Amino acid sequence: MHSYSLLKAIKNHGYDGSILTTYNCHIPFIEEVVIRKLASVGCRHNIVLADHSQLNAAFENHLPKRVGRDYILLPIKQKTAFHPKIILLAGKNKGFLAIGSHNLTYSGFSYNREITNVFTYQEKKQ
């Protein structure tokens, strides 16, 4: 097992859009870290899907400021918890997919021990 930084991965150029899913979330982390990093490398079409109940709890502490302008935030309501943790980055010639246990929180991306599988695609230049 080795250390892998999801924050470094989302700072790569060449992605136009992203879809991120989470159970638990921290609004300032999403807006000031993740979306800001994606936008800084040209990834402008960003969607975050989050568990409805957890998102409501997150709103008690922080209301989103950049939603609708820099990203779309969709609460997912279902009978059971919405629990997938996926990062999908898509570009014209490359792709990145991370599936794991990381929530969109500071701890999920930094000091927690998380398990994540990463898949990448890069079109070969001819």
In a domain, 47, yes or no: yes
In a domain, 1, yes or no: no
In a domain, 126, yes or no: no
Q: Which domain holds residue 88?
A: 6-120
Cβ proximity of 113 and 107 under 8 Å: no
CA distance 10 to 30: 12
In a domain, 125, yes or no: no
Mean local confidence (pLDDT), 21-37 = 96
pLDDT surpasses 60 at 17? yes
What are the respective helix, strand and coil percentages of the chain, to the nearest 5? Answer: 25, 35, 45
pTM of the model: 0.93
Confidence band for 4, pLDDT divided at 50, 70 and 90: confident
Confidence band for 103, pLDDT divided at 50, 70 and 90: very high
In a domain, 46, yes or no: yes
CA distance 78 to 93: 35
Tokens 């979306």 map to which residue? 35
Count: domains in the chain:
1
Neighbours of 52 (CB within 10 A): 14
Looking up residue 92, the CATH number of its domain turns out to be 3.30.870.10
Residue among 26, 32, 41, 45 at smallest CA distance from 102? 26
In a domain, 82, yes or no: yes
